[in-house]
């Protein structure tokens, strides 16, 4: 089916080009991570193995593994949301809105699969979600939720960065959070043209806000049915 053009094709092209660049660099990091796992017996991937959990319960683990599983859980949440949002668009959705939501969906799926592949046998299982509080037939409900998820994701990566010990993983987090920030800006622009950021996410020093895992999981938990055990995550 031929690609449908957007009225603001230039802006969309820039958006996709930036995201594609981050994705390419992410592929390079997959190769780096694979070598790290296979070539060093004492690498973080070999140090921690989350316990077997009861049904519908996952343990994120500890150390860098725990933080990567934490990020994986959030990417699962975002991917599941956008898959549902793009499966049947709300009434009146413009071509621009549909295309942006589909593009972001594809990015979040790529992030989800990246973490699943990188973690290998250390990855938590697939989570179950409850989106019953979201009206997927309402533009405001879908876009407001998307904004909340993207802002939450950016703050989560910002907070998790200082908890990572491996510079390779810190670089990975930096690559992904840059894409998440582009998503957040795009969604904000759909809600109110020109409002790519605001004082609710940018502090007085021009820096993005950050949240630590406990706070992020408490917010995300409103949409996650699976019980997540995060007691062993690093705190500093």
Average pLDDT in the 106-115 region? 95
Global pTM value: 0.78
Instruction: Please report which confidence band the pLDDT of residue 5 belongs to, taking 50, 70 and 90 as the band edges.
Output: very low
pLDDT averaged over the chain? 81
Half-sphere exposure for 84 (CA within 13 Å, toward CB): 18
- Under DSSP, the state recorded for 136 is T
Question: What pLDDT is stored for residue 63 in this prediction?
Answer: 96
Q: Which fold has domain 9-229?
A: Ferritin (1.20.1260)
**Taking a C-beta distance cutoff of 8 angstroms, is the pair 180, 157 a contact?**
yes
List the chain domain ranges. Answer: 9-229
Q: Which structure tokens are listed for 109?
A: 């799926």
User: Is residue 79 pLDDT above 70, yes or no?
Assistant: yes
Instruction: Please report which confidence band the pLDDT of residue 55 belongs to, taking 50, 70 and 90 as the band edges.
Output: confident
CA angle 225, 227, 228 (to 5 degrees): 120
pLDDT (tens digit, 9 = 90+) per residue, 141-159? 999 999 999 999 999 999 9
pLDDT (tens digit, 9 = 90+) per residue, 172-183? 888 898 899 899
**Taking a C-beta distance cutoff of 8 angstroms, is the pair 124, 68 a contact?**
no
pLDDT (tens digit, 9 = 90+) per residue, 123-137? 999 999 999 999 999
Half-sphere exposure for 231 (CA within 13 Å, toward CB): 6
């Amino acid at each position: 089916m031929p690609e449908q053009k957007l009225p603001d094709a230039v802006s969309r092209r820039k958006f996709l080009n930036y995201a594609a660049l981050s994705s390419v660099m992410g592929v390079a990091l997959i190769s780096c991570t694979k070598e790290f796992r296979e070539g060093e017996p004492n690498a973080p991937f070999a140090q921690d193995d989350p316990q077997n959990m009861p049904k519908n319960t996952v343990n994120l683990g500890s150390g860098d593994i725990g933080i990567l599983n934490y990020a994986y859980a959030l990417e699962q949440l975002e991917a599941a949301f956008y898959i549902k949002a793009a499966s049947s668009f709300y009434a009146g959705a413009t071509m621009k809105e549909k295309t942006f939501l589909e593009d972001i969906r594809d990015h979040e799926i790529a992030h989800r699969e990246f973490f699943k592949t990188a973690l290998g046998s250390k990855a938590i299982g697939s989570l179950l979600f409850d989106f019953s509080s979201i009206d997927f037939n309402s533009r405001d409900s879908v876009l407001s939720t998307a904004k909340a998820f993207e802002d939450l994701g950016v703050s989560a990566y910002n907070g998790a960065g200082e908890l990572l010990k491996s510079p390779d993983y810190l670089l990975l987090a930096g690559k992904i959070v840059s894409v998440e920030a582009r998503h957040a800006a795009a969604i904000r622009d759909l809600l109110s043209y020109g409002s790519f950021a605001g004082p609710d996410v940018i502090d007085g020093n021009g820096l993005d806000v950050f949240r630590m895992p406990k706070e992020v999981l408490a917010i995300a938990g409103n949409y996650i049915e699976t019980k997540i055990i995060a007691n062993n995550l690093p705190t500093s």
